[in-house]
Structure 1
């Protein structure tokens, strides 16, 4: 833990932005878990829960191309602050969700917050290499990746407990306050969030920017490989839409069980990046570890659908998302270390778009199929989808992996411009 503590102690602006992300992410899941429980309880169906999760991902995917252009054209600090403030206002509308007739409000609010997150995520990821030195980038990237897992675990667990103790509406108010606190911490950061001269302003030319990004990706097979790796785990995340149904139905553990399943997901996403940190800066190890994470995710969710014991289900979710978390963080670091700053926002928006499209597809299918198929069978099926994707990804990226292995232990190549 010493490298992480040293980095947080030395880099004040990184510490502020990192803490802002912790607070915002924790508050996010503190509200989503109670909302999922509320919708399942009020509607008696898993459809609205799956729509909430799909809205959280699908709208991010749809907005990402535009958001990536904004992240490369305008001040990234301002983008982060604006996204937090908008989310703080919009989340208060969840107080209006009071029954089946108003369930649509929950979906709409999460969709609106997802749009704000679509601007926040590429700006934040693109800014990271400017907030720390290049030598500190692998450590910072692991910390940021693990923060998502940490606050998912903490936020989901506390959200489940608070929902059981105080009800969902208190959780929604706390979420709004967390966004405002996150914005204030970002205001305090003084270090530039991008290189001088790259924030050129002007009206975003989305299609032109997409073509430029596409040409860049086609010209570098490493970048294409890194962009494609998150989608396998994204499809498997369709199982998340089944968590409330499994907790309240198959396992009969109630709302707290939903929180614990999401917390187990977060715990795995925290542990995975920490134990694979040394693979980040070694290109020869980077691709095999990402592949192992994807295959392990699929195998664990196949077993998840078969186990009758809740404690075993929690353990399998932790191990699955250790692989998923490592997969996400390592591929993000590879992109940060390879892509030029002037293109980084757009490449990360494409990365996020592909991953979130896969998640949205999986969650929409899960919500629809949960009305027709036993949820345990469905959970195992999504594990099988990720396993198949992993096998196909290994076959399609053989050349890139072979080149990396032949070069021996080495740092991931740096920016080319």
Structure 2
């Protein structure tokens, strides 16, 4: 390859900057703006529902049950969402799921007494099942509306947006629930879904032509094809399991239950501890936001660097949990949660970026849905365990945090063994929606 060709390859593989992406890509700007608005409301709902059920029942097991239901319902939804994202118009799926969620959230306004807790659970199941369709669809549409130079930046920015809105939405959601009232938080959540749907509707996205067969048999075949692909590609399967490890050991349900218990029993700030819980979610959001941005300065979008970075990130997450386990003060817990969030954000973004590099566009929705499903399943299991252990055994909060810290070492060791003894797959050309083959930076 002569110097001119080398310069061309380098130019084609160079990632764009964050501001450049937002300014130049109108479709991404609409999708991203909708994401900001809807995520803002999501955290109002999470803080509000957790504070409401704690207020109505006074049971840690009931709060843990809420997180279990949220995770299991989303797990079921992703099984449908992955196939739907690969078969149908992704833009229309995003709009319809936003509208449906707006209607469902309004039902939370009718939960007024302990006798209505069943309604809160039922509405949560519907809300999270539909969210299970929305999230893999939103992830799968990114390669449709970005170029090969933009996809890495878009992925990192999308994940950072989730984190920033966790910080802002959780903090404001905690203030709204603790100072203004829980039901106002639910009303704001419903409004954000409507605004998100309106923004996404302005995208000029056109679905790539497909020749998918109709009928339940064909849908079931598509669903099974995703698992057959993962069975043939053990490296891709291993990468999809990283989010499951996060949910099971250091993030997700077990962390949510632990933070809820800290805010409701040890450091109670605001009505029902809602403000304190919001602050804890906010500091986690700050960590998950800066984590991938700072880590990506060292790794870029290079596959080998992304793989290697996962191990120190797991170790950092365990360190943060060990710091929180001292329970010396609320500020100490916040520091530990920041470090944990930093690690979780990096692992989340880098594992997804590896999948963007390795997985064919036609299968991407199903693979991403498995990734999200593993996280929700792991979160549900860990939330159930945490709620049960804190209520029915002698395990205390400090012991739960230490257990999580040790758990974070398990995926780090397994991933190290896979990189040394397994068969990691190099990034291969992946067909873009228009049929042109491309590859990301290796």
Superposition TM-score tier, normalisation by shorter sequence: over 0.9
After TM superposition, the score normalised by the length of structure 1 is 0.92
Does structure 1 retain, via aligned residues, the 8 Å contact 2:56–2:113?
yes
Does structure 1 retain, via aligned residues, the 8 Å contact 2:323–2:335?
no
What displacement does 1:140 show?
A: 0.5
Candidates 181, 198, 208, aligned match of 1:184: 198
Cα root mean square deviation, aligned: 2.1
Are 2:227 and 1:217 aligned? no
Aligned mates of 2:348, 2:371 — CA distance in 1: 10
Aligned mates of 1:252, 1:271 — CA distance in 2: 27
Aligned mates of 2:423, 2:315 — CA distance in 1: 16
Does structure 2 retain, via aligned residues, the 8 Å contact 1:97–1:106?
yes
Does structure 2 retain, via aligned residues, the 8 Å contact 1:153–1:267?
yes
Question: Highest Rg: 1 or 2?
Answer: 2
Aligned mates of 1:131, 1:400 — CA distance in 2: 34
Which residue number in structure 2 is paired with residue 409 of structure 1?
A: none
1:381 partner SS:
helix
What displacement does 1:52 show?
A: 1.9
What displacement does 1:397 show?
A: 4.0
Candidates 361, 384, 388, aligned match of 1:364: 384
Which residue number in structure 2 is paired with residue 277 of structure 1?
A: 296
Aligned mates of 2:150, 2:369 — CA distance in 1: 23
Does structure 2 retain, via aligned residues, the 8 Å contact 1:43–1:99?
no
Candidates 411, 419, 427, aligned match of 1:389: 411
| 1:366-396 deviation line (CA, Å, top 9, x unaligned) | 1111203212211221222222232233224
Does structure 1 retain, via aligned residues, the 8 Å contact 2:310–2:412?
no
What displacement does 1:318 show?
A: 1.0
Candidates 246, 258, 274, aligned match of 1:255: 274
Are 2:254 and 1:234 aligned? no
Aligned mates of 1:312, 1:338 — CA distance in 2: 40
> Which segment is superposed worse, 211-220 or 180-189?
211-220
Are 2:305 and 1:292 aligned? no
Are 2:106 and 1:92 aligned? yes
Which residue number in structure 1 is paired with residue 58 of structure 2?
A: 44
> Which segment is superposed worse, 224-233 or 82-91?
224-233
Aligned mates of 2:66, 2:120 — CA distance in 1: 7
What displacement does 1:207 show?
A: 4.0
Unaligned 5+ runs, structure 2: 1-15, 432-436, 438-442
Does structure 1 retain, via aligned residues, the 8 Å contact 2:323–2:332?
no
